[in-house]
Structure 1
Amino acid sequence: MEITITGGSGFVGQNLIRYLKDANQVQTLSIRYSFNNKLEVKGDVIIHLAGKAHDLKKVSSENEYLEANFELTKELFNAFLKSEGKDFIYFSSVKAVADKVSDVLYEDEEPKPETIYGHSKFKAEEYILSQEIPSGKRVFIIRPCMIHGPGNKGNLNLLYNVVKKGIPYPLAAFDNQRSFLGIDNLNFLVKAILEDPVIPSGIYNFADDEFLSTNELVSIISKVLKVKDRKISIPKSLINRLARVGDLIKLPLNSETVQKLTESYRVSNNKIKDVIGIDKLPYTAQQGLEMTIKSFIHK
């Protein structure tokens, strides 16, 4: 199978290339800001990973997000429709649907993105879904939740450093549940789609099977580091007051940090498992996180 991957230099791209290259011919394609409408794609499969991720410093404009996540996707997808390729896999995001989830996020949730990042991803989804797909082609929109894996700290970095330095985690009074996605489970799901021609086109969430609380995550990190599990249950009302002070004088403990660490964001992966025909993914959420944390120690 000939597979073309955009965004091959990124964390997910590098892992997918390593995972797929033994049994397939894998090549990368750079499409950054081409906009020439002459883009040609080759291969049986196009896996589109390239794009602009969250801007944690909040200095990027809406136009930058739209160019990278919408316009480039539109150009690449148009090229795929004209090509002899059979499968197009677009990596969108759960943030294309919702920034906050009160229950569990399923694929049929009405998209209401709140950030310019989520909006740009949704615009790309909207365009793909508006096009007529020729017979013999399949199109997959993948919505992964927070991806992690060996060598990629991502949003785990803050918690990892807190535990590593022996600083007590002060938000144990908050009870939440979050979804994660280990890179090994992501690789497995992509391969399963490619190897089964019966799996239909559609939108699919990618997430590990289990939901974990931030308190459980702190315990996992402590276990891997072999340090004491230090958690403190400071009353929520006091934490919220301290966070508001942090907003004013730019402290690490502020309202945004508290929200990120304590909010729930649960994502269902039932649809993709059903079409593949499995009950469980190869790795549990805890196993995936343990492998990721272990990789930090040896860096």
Structure 2
Amino acid sequence: MKIILTGLSGFVGQNLSTYLSSFSFLIEGISLRNSDWKNIFDGDVIIHLAGKAHDTKNTSNASEYFKVNTDLTKRLFDVFLQSEIQDFIYFSSVKAVADDVLEILYEDIEPNPKTPYGQSKLQAEEYIMSKQIPQGKRVFIIRPCMIHGPGNKGNLNLLYNVVKKKIPYPLAAFENQRSFLGIDNLNFMIREILVNKEIPSGVYNFADDEVLSTNELVQIISSVSNKKNLSIVIPKVIINGMAKFGDLMNFPLNSEVVQKLTENYAVSNKKIKGALGIEKLPYTVKEGLEKTIKSFIK
């Protein structure tokens, strides 16, 4: 089976292509910024990973998100509809539908993204779902939550460096529950979709089975790193004030970072597991996180 992959050079693209190649899938990366991409549009499946990631420093122009995440996706999907390719897998985001989650995020939520990133992803989703899908084709919209794994540089790396440098974690006053997605579980679910043609088209959340608090995450990092957990409880009002100051001064601790580290964001993966016919994913959230943290140490 030949896979056409956009975003091959990214974190998910590199890991997914390596994983699928180990199962004898043929991978061909294409760049949508290259005007010749339509000329090499030959394969069995398109996995569309390329996009503009969420900028936590809020320095990006809003139009850039729509140009990349919406317009390029539309063009790619239009070509797919006219091609002989059977499957289209679009990587959207949970942020396409919700910036805040009060209880558990399911696929049927009424979308209400508040950022240009989420809005651009949602517009791409809406365009895909507005089209009539030809018989014999499948279309998947994947909404992953926070993805991590070896080589990932994100807030997990920020937390790791806090623990590594023996800096007290200052947000222990916040109790939350949030979902993560280990790259190994992501790879597994994509392969299952590819090989099982009985899995129907649709929108699917991707998340690990369990949820964790950030305080539990800090404890995992401390244990794997063999460092003492130095978390401290600073009143929330003080933290929020520091975050607002960070917004003004462009400091690493800003409102966006505080929200990401302390928000409740539990995501249900019940629908995709039902489609795959499994009760649990291959790796627990703790196993995936431990693997990621060990890669930072190396």
Q: TM-score, normalised by structure 2?
A: 0.94
State the partner residue of 1:261: 261
> CA RMSD of the aligned region, Å?
1.8
Question: Quick one: structure 1 residues 246 and 287, their matched pair in 2 at CA, closer, same or farther if it must change by over 3 Å?
Answer: same
1:156-171 equivalence runs, <5 A: 156-171=156-171
Cα distance 1:9–1:240, how it changes in 2: closer, same or farther (>3 A)?
closer
CA offsets 1:58-92 (integer angstroms, 9 cap, x no match): 23222211111111111111111111111100000
Q: Structure 2: which amino acid aligns with 1:234? A: I
CA positional deviation for 1:242: 4.2
- Distance of 2:37 and 2:30 partners within structure 1: 15
Deviation at 1:31? 1.0
Matches within 5 A, 1:49-68: 49-68=49-68
The answer to whether 1:24 aligns with 2:14 is no
Alpha-carbon contact 1:247-1:255 (below 8 Å) kept: yes
| Cα distance in 2 for residues equivalent to 1:43 and 1:59 | 37
- Offset at residue 237 of structure 1 (A): 3.4
Which residue is 1:144 aligned to?
Answer: 144
Residue by residue over 1:150-202, the C-alpha shift from the partner in whole angstroms, topping out at 9 and shown as x without a partner, is 01131212211111111111221210011111100000000010111100000
Identical positions, percent: 67
> Does the CA-based 8 Å contact 1:39-1:79 persist in structure 2?
no
CA distance in 1, matches of 2:7, 2:29: 8
Letter in 2 for 1:144: P
Shift of 1:235: 2.8
Code of the aligned partner of 2:270: N
Gaps of 5+ in 1: none
Map 1:186-225 to 2 at 5 A: 186-225=186-225
What are the superposed Cα offsets for residues 70-123 of structure 1, whole Å, 9 maximum, x if unpaired?
111111111111111111000000110011111111000011111101111111
Structure 2 spans left out of the alignment, 5+ residues: none
Does the residue aligned with 1:64 lie in a helix, a strand or coil? helix
Deviations 1:198-249 (CA, angstroms, capped at 9, x unpaired): 0000000000111110000100100111011111122333433444455555
Give 1:56 shift: 2.9
Separation of aligned partners in 1, 2:2 and 2:241: 56
Q: Compared with structure 1, are the counterparts of its residues 174 and 196 closer, same or farther at alpha carbon in structure 2 (3 Å cutoff)?
A: same
The DSSP-based 3-state class of the residue aligned with 1:279 is coil
What number of residue pairs does the alignment pair up? 297
Moved more, 179-188 or 227-236: 227-236
